[in-house]
Structure 1
Amino acid sequence: MKIYKAADYKEMSRKAANIIASQVILKPDCVLGLATGSTPIGTYERLVSLYKEGNLDFSNVKTVNLDEYKGLPRTNDQSYYYFMHENLFDKVNIDPANTNLPDGMEPDSDKECARYEELIESLGGVDLQLLGLGHNGHIGFNEPADAFDKVTHCVDLQESTIEANKRFFASADDVPKQAYTMGIGTIMRAKKVLLVVSGEDKADIVAKAFFGPVTPAVPASILQMHGDVTLVADAAALSKIPQ
C-alpha cells in the first residue's frame, strides 16, 4: 500500500485527482470505478477543472459506480445517479452511454445484481477504483459482517450508515434502508484502488482498517490484501497510524 499524506482536504483532493487524471491520460479508454459521498466531491471538482483547462479528455472513458440506493428514482436529488451527473458527468465530455450505475428502481435484487456484475465483466473489469471509507470501515455499502460479500448484492443498511446519511434527507425515515453495491470481491478485482479519506473523525478507522487485522468486521481491511492500493489522506485522518 502506498500512503500519500496531504496537509488538508484541498491537497488530498488535488493529489487524488492527479492520480485519476494520470490513469485517463495513460489509458484514454480506461474503466473508472467511481464513488459518491462528501469526500470525493473535491476530487471531482479538480477533475472538472483539469478538463476545462484542456488537460483531460473523458470522451472514451467508461465508468461504473460502486453503489446506488434501492427504491430511489434517478430524478431524486439524493440518488447517486443524480450526484454523479451533478458533480462530474454533466461537467465533462464523457459519453452518458459510457456511464453505469446500479438501477435502484429494479425491484428484483437477484436480477439487477447479476446484470451489474456481468456488465463490469463485459467492460474488462475496473482499471482504477475510487473508494471512500465509512466510520465503521465500510467500502461501498459493504457493511461489517461475518464474511466478505464477493459480488454485487443488495444490502440492508446498518443504523450507523442510515444515521450518517440522514442529514441529506428530510428525516431519517426518508433514508433508503437498502442499496445495491459492488461486493468486496468485485472491488478486489479492480487493477488499482484509490482510497480518499479526510478528517480527524476517520483517524481511528484508518488505523484499524490498514494497520489492524484483516476481518469482515472491518470491510476495508481486506484492501491490505490487494496488490495496488493507494491511500490519499489528510494529516488529521492519518493522525493515529503507527509511525
Structure 2
Amino acid sequence: MEVIIQPDAESVARVAADVFTDYARRESATLGLATGSTPLAMYLELIRRHRDEGLSFARCRAFLLDEYVGLPRTHEQSYYRFIRDNFTSHIDIPDDDVHSPDGLADDPTAAGLAYDRAIAEAGGVDVQLLGIGTDGHIGFNEPGSSLRSRTRLKTLHPQTIADNARFFGDDESQVPHHVLTQGLGTISDAGHLLLLATGSGKADAVAATVEGPVSALCPASILQFHQHATVIVDEEAGSGLANADYYRYAFENKPAWQHI
C-alpha cells in the first residue's frame, strides 16, 4: 500500500486526477467511479483537463460502486444521476458505457450477480476510486461486511444514514435505508484501488485502514491485502497516522520511473 499525504484537499484532487489521467490515456480503460463529496474536486479537475487540455474518455467505460434501492436513475439523489451531473455528462464518455447497479430490480440478489457478471465481461475494473466513511466503510460495505462479499443488498448503518442526510435536506427519514453495493471481494478484484480522504473527520478511519488490523469492523482495511492500493489524504485526514513521516519520505523519494 502506498500512502500519499498532501497539504490540502485541492492537492489530493490533483494527484488523484493524475492517476485517472494515466488510465484514460490508455488504449482502453474501465474506470470504477465513486460518489460522495470527496471525489468531487477530482472530477472537476478531470473535467477541466478534458475541456482545456483535450483529455479524452471516449475509449473508457465506467462502473459505479453502488446505488440506492428504490430510487430511479432520474432521481436527483440517485448515484447514476450524481455521476452524470457531476462528471460523465461533462466529458466524452458515452452514456451507454456508464453502468450502475439496478436499484429498482425486483430481485436485488439477481441484480447483484448480474452486475458482477457485467464487470467481469468488461474485463474487470482497471482503477477503482474509493471514498471512506467515518466508520471505515467503502462502497456501502458497513462494519461487519464479509471481506469476500460480492455485489449485494445491504442495510445502511444509522451513522451512514445520518452522514448522508445532508443530501436529503437534512431529513434522515428521506434517506433510503437499503442499497445495492459492490462487495469487498468485488472491489478487491480491481487492478488498482485508489482511496481518497480529506478532513479531520476521516482521520480515525484512515488510521484504522492503513495501520490497524485487517478486520471486518473496518471494511476499508481490506486494502492492506491488495497488490496495488493507493491512499491519498490531506494533512487533516492523515493526522492519526503513526508512520506519517515515512510515508512523506517515501513519496518524496519515489523513483521517477515508478508510477502511482
Q: Give 5+ residue unaligned stretches, structure 1.
A: none
Which position in structure 2 is the counterpart of 1:138?
137
Q: Which aligned pairs between 1:1-243 and structure 2 lie closer than 5 A?
A: 1-25=1-25, 27-145=26-144, 147-170=146-169, 171-243=171-243
| 2:24/2:59 contact within 8 Å kept | no
What CA deviation, in whole Å up to 9, does each residue of 1:5-33 have, x standing for no partner? Answer: 111111111110111101111x2310001
Are the aligned partners of 1:34 and 1:64 in contact in 2 as well (CA < 8 Å)?
yes
CA distance in 2, matches of 1:198, 1:190: 23
- TM-score normalised according to structure 2 size: 0.91
TM-score (norm 1): 0.97
Question: Retained in 1: the 8 A contact 2:145–2:219?
Answer: no
Give the whole-Å Cα distance in 1 for the aligned partners of 2:48 and 2:85.
14
Partner Cα distance (2:2, 2:185) in 1: 21
> Given that residues 142 and 149 in structure 1 are in contact (C-alpha distance below 8 angstroms), is that contact kept between their aligned partners in structure 2?
no
Give the secondary-structure state (helix, strand or coil) at the position aligned to 2:53: coil
- How many pairs were matched up? 242
User: SS where residue 78 of structure 1 aligns?
Assistant: coil
Change (3 A) 1:146 1:23: closer
Structure 1 residues 88-127: Cα deviation after superposition (integer angstroms, max 9, x where no partner)? 1110000111110111111311121111011001001010
The offset of 1:146, in angstroms, is 5.9
Identity, in percent, stands at: 39
Structure 1 segments, 4+ long, off by >4 Å, are none
Which residue type is aligned with residue 37 of structure 1?
Answer: G
For 1:185 and 1:148, the matched residues in 2 are separated by 6
Contact persistence 1:71–1:107 (CA under 8 A) = no
Q: 1:28·1:58 contact (CA, 8 Å) conserved in 2?
A: no
| AA at the equivalent of 2:139 | G
| Match of residue 250 from structure 2 | none
Amino acid at match of 2:3: I
Structure 1 position 53, deviation (Å): 1.4
CA distance in 2 between partners of 1:43 and 1:28 (Å) = 22
Structure 2 residue identity aligned to 1:132: G
C-alpha RMSD of matched pairs (Å):
1.0
Shifted more, 11-20 versus 103-112: the winner is 103-112
Deviation at 1:43, TM superposition (A): 0.4
